[in-house]
Amino acid sequence: MQLPTKYSSGCRSVDRLLGGGFESGAVTQLYGEAGSGKTNLCLQAAVKCAKAGRSVIFIDSEGFSPERFLQIASACCSSTNEDAGREEGREEGREEGREEGREEGRKEGREKGREEGREKGGGVENVEEAARRIIIYEPHSFEQQTSCINEIETVVKEKRGEESRVALVVLDSATLFYRLELDDERSIYLRRVLANQIMQLLEIARKHDLAVLITNQVYFDVGNGNLRPAGGYSLEHLSKVIVQLEKAVEGRGKRRATLRKHRSMPEDTSCEFFITGSGVKDSQELK
Ligand SMILES: Nc1ncnc2c1ncn2[C@@H]1O[C@H](COP(=O)(O)OP(=O)(O)OP(=O)(O)O)[C@@H](O)[C@H]1O
Ligand SMILES: [Mg+2]
C-alpha cells in the first residue's frame, strides 16, 4: 500500500483544505464561475511542482498566459529563497541567544537567502528553469484536446525514472470545447468523448502515480437554483476530489474554496484565499 504524494497549491489554506495538497493517483476537479481562480490555482501548482524539480504537462484550451505565469513564477522563486534565508537567520539568532543576535541573524539570513537563490539560479534564471519544466499544449478544438491527451503518456514514459519526471498534469479547462460544441444531437457523443478523456487521464495518474488537475465550468441549474459543474455525472464520478471556487462578495481578490468531494477529508468544509499580483495566498501569507 502506498500513500499518495500531495503536491502543494502554493496556498496554505487550500493545501489544508485538501489534506496537504493535490493527490497523486487521482483526478482533482476545480469548478467555478469565470474569474473564480481556477487558472490561478493551476498555474501556481504547476510552478510549485516545477520549482521542486518535477515536470508538468499543462493542457490549456483557453490559451496559456505567459504574463500571469511570469508573475506567479517570479514571486514563487524569490519568496522561497527569502523564506529559506529568514529561517536560517532565525536559527542563527536563536543560537546566539541574544536579541541583537536574532536581528543580525535575520538580516544576514535574508541576504544569504537572496544570494544563494541567485547562485542556484533563484531570480530570473530560476524562473526560466521552472518554465522549461512545464510542457504546454494548446488545443484549438475538442478533437485536438483528445489528441493531446492521447499523446501525453509518451512524454510521461520518456521522463519516467528521471529526477524531472512528470508529477502533475493540468487540463484547463476540460469542458470549454465540450460546451462550445454541445448541441442536442451531439450531446451524448460529446459527453462520452469527454468521459473517455478524463478516464484516460485517471489511468495515467494511477499508472504513473502523478496528480491530475482539471478545471470545469459551471451552469445554472434552474431546478434548484444552484451553480452546477458541467460535464455530467461521469466527470463527477471520475474526479476523486472536487473543489468549488467562488468569488466572495466582500472583498477584491477574495475567493472561497469548498470541498465538495474527497476520499479522506470532510466534505462541505471551506477556506478563503486571495488572488494577488504574485499569485494565490491565504490571509496569513498576505501579511
Ligand atoms: N496580477 C494580478 N493581480 C491581481 N489579480 C489578478 C492578477 N491577474 C489576474 N488576476 C485576477 O484573477 C482573476 C481571474 O482568475 P482566473 O483566471 O484564475 O479565473 P478562472 O476561474 O480561471 O476563470 P475562467 O473560467 O474565465 O477561466 C481575475 O479576477 C483577475 O482580476
Ligand atoms: Mg481559467
Q: Which fold has domain 6-64+138-286?
A: Rossmann fold (3.40.50)
16: Cα separation from own chain's centroid: 14
pLDDT-derived band at 126 (thresholds 50, 70, 90) equals: confident
pLDDT above 90: residue 161? yes
Euclidean distance between CA atoms 23 and 189, whole angstroms: 30
Ligand 2: distance of its center to the CA of 39 in Å? Answer: 4
Ligand 1: distance of its center to the CA of 276 in Å? Answer: 9
More confident residue, 133 or 100: 133
pLDDT above 90: residue 108? no
Ligand 1: distance of its center to the CA of 35 in Å? Answer: 5
What count of other Cβ atoms lies within 10 Å of the Cβ of residue 194? 25
Ranking 114-128, 171-185, 226-240 by mean pLDDT, the lowest is 114-128
| Residue labelled with grid coordinates 501579511 | 287
**Crossing angle (nearest 10°) for helices 124-132 and 66-96:** 120
DSSP letter for each residue of the chain: --PPPEE--S-HHHHHHTTSSEETTSEEEEEESTTSSHHHHHHHHHHHHHHTT-EEEEEETT---HHHHHHHHHHHHHHHHHHHHHHHHHHHHHHHTSHHHHHHHHHHHHHHHHHHHHHTTTTHHHHHHHHHTEEEE--SSHHHHHHHHHHHHHHHHHTTTSTT-EEEEEEETSSHHHHHH--TTTHHHHHHHHHHHHHHHHHHHHHHT-EEEEEE-EEEETTTTEEEESSHHHHHHH-SEEEEEEE-TTSTTEEEEEEEE-SSS-TT-EEEEEEETTEEE-HHHH-
pLDDT-derived band at 188 (thresholds 50, 70, 90) equals: confident
Q: What is the pLDDT of residue 187?
A: 85
pLDDT-derived band at 79 (thresholds 50, 70, 90) equals: low
| Cβ of 3 below 6 Å from ligand 1 | no
Euclidean distance between CA atoms 21 and 39, whole angstroms: 16
Q: What is the pLDDT of residue 143?
A: 95
Residues 6+ apart with CB under 8 A from 131: 50, 69, 73
Q: What is the pLDDT of residue 252?
A: 83
pLDDT above 80: residue 111? no
Query: How much is the average pLDDT of 98-127?
Result: 47
Q: What is the pLDDT of residue 86?
A: 45
Q: What is the pLDDT of residue 1?
A: 83
The three grid cell numbers given for residue 170, joined into one nine-digit string: 493540468
Ranking 15-29, 101-115, 219-233, 269-283 by mean pLDDT, the lowest is 101-115
Q: What is the pLDDT of residue 42?
A: 98
Which residues make up the environment of ion ligand 2, defined by Cβ < 5 Å? 38-39
More confident residue, 79 or 186: 186
Q: What is the pLDDT of residue 124?
A: 36
Q: What is the pLDDT of residue 250?
A: 81
- Per the rule left: phi > 0, alpha: psi between -120 and 50, beta: everything else, 103 is alpha
Q: What is the pLDDT of residue 120?
A: 43
Q: What is the pLDDT of residue 96?
A: 46
- pLDDT tens-digit series, residues 219-251: 999 999 989 999 989 999 999 999 999 999 887
Q: What is the pLDDT of residue 182?
A: 77
Protein residue with its CA nearest to atom 11 in ligand 1: 275
Among 135, 209, 213, CA closest to 169: 213
Query: How much is the average pLDDT of 186-203?
Result: 94
Cα dihedral angle (231, 276, 262, 46), rounded to 10 degrees? Answer: 80
